[in-house]
A = this chain, B = another copy of it.
Amino acid sequence: MTAVKNVPNLLNSYRMQRLFPQGRAAIICPIDHGIIFPRALMRGLEDPVAVLNRLSAHGATGFMLSPGLVKQTQVELGQASHLSRVMALDGFYNLTDAATGIGNLIATVEDAVRLGVDCVKLLMPWNVSTQEKVNLTERLGKVVSDAAKWDMPVMIEPVLLGEPRSKEVIAAEFEVARIAYDIGADIVKIAFPGPDYTAKLVQELKVPLVIAGGPMTGSFEDAVREVRDTVAAGAQGLIVGRNVWSREPAEAERMMAELNRIARENYVAR
């Protein structure tokens, strides 16, 4: 067999092209925290539509939304029609005690298709009970099957819920990413595992990788350096929510400007 360039399954589809503008990394802002985050942990996102309006003017290429937000922002995002929309299908998760956590789906692929979004997104928490792993993988597989009928990309996010960002946790999430891939994820989302793991995931899994920054920790400069390393290591997109909307407006704006510069200058096409 001659060497053939591998092109992930849906990459040439309309929705995938909307999600990943050429020549740059995507910047997708998640504002879907309302379903599982207490108010105290999502300071700045009390009024999600206000956040959406502010960030869409400052360089986001898309948003990650709950089903309710997708419904209620059709005018805003229909007018800002260049922005992609990723819809989270997950329902309840026990955020702080994964061992007893049991997940579910609160929306279907058919909902996503009807609402015209570009991608569906699912959490894949792996520090859960055996029974929950069984249910979880079955749910993920069902969504992947359904999505295939509608050319709808599926983003899966391996995660150890409620764990500190230790080396062990990062290594574990890195491993779970492979399960997500084998189940059939079109896009893998992962909390920034450092440039080496990022490069490995890009090389081994080949489907577009998007990296989440997580909560605002450390300085502006630390956050920016982390993003630069991520993009340089081959990530095709950045998921930046709390790191932007939990900052003061002026600093959030400066952060978005910086992210956009990196998303273009440090980008490596795959």
Binding site for B on A (CB under 8 A): 1-9, 11-18, 21-23, 32, 34-35, 38-39, 46-49, 53, 56-57, 66-69, 71-84, 91-92, 94, 100-108, 110-111, 113-116, 118, 130-131, 133-138, 140-142, 144-145, 148-151, 175, 178-186, 200, 203-204, 206-207
Q: How many copies does the complex hold?
A: 5
A76 touches B183 (CB 8 A): no
B114 touches A79 (CB 8 A): no
Report how far A137 CA is from B21 CA in the complex, Å. Answer: 34
- Chain B residues with Cβ below 8 Å from A34 are 178-179, 181-182
Report how far A57 CA is from B1 CA in the complex, Å. Answer: 6
- Chain B residues with Cβ below 8 Å from A130 are 92, 94, 100-102
- Chain B residues with Cβ below 8 Å from A113 are 113-114, 150
User: Given the known A-B contacts A34-B182, A182-B35, are A103 and B134 also in contact in the complex, defined by CB atoms under 8 Å?
Assistant: yes
A107 touches B53 (CB 8 A): no
- Chain B residues with Cβ below 8 Å from A135 are 104
Sample (6) of A-B pairs whose CB atoms are under 8 Å apart: A46-B204, A68-B183, A101-B130, A106-B138, A106-B184, A115-B151
Q: Choose among B66, B100, B178, B206 the residue that contacts A49 (Cβ–Cβ < 8 A).
A: B206
Q: Closest chain B residue to A180 by CB distance?
A: B68
User: Which 6 pairs from chain A and chain B are nearest by CB?
Assistant: A17-B78, A106-B141, A66-B182, A34-B182, A91-B137, A82-B82
Q: Closest chain B residue to A32 by CB distance?
A: B182
B47 touches A114 (CB 8 A): no
B74 touches A9 (CB 8 A): yes
User: Given the known A-B contacts A4-B79, A67-B183, are A105 and B12 also in contact in the complex, defined by CB atoms under 8 Å?
Assistant: no
B151 touches A114 (CB 8 A): yes
Q: Choose among B38, B82, B116, B181 the residue that contacts A81 (Cβ–Cβ < 8 A).
A: B82
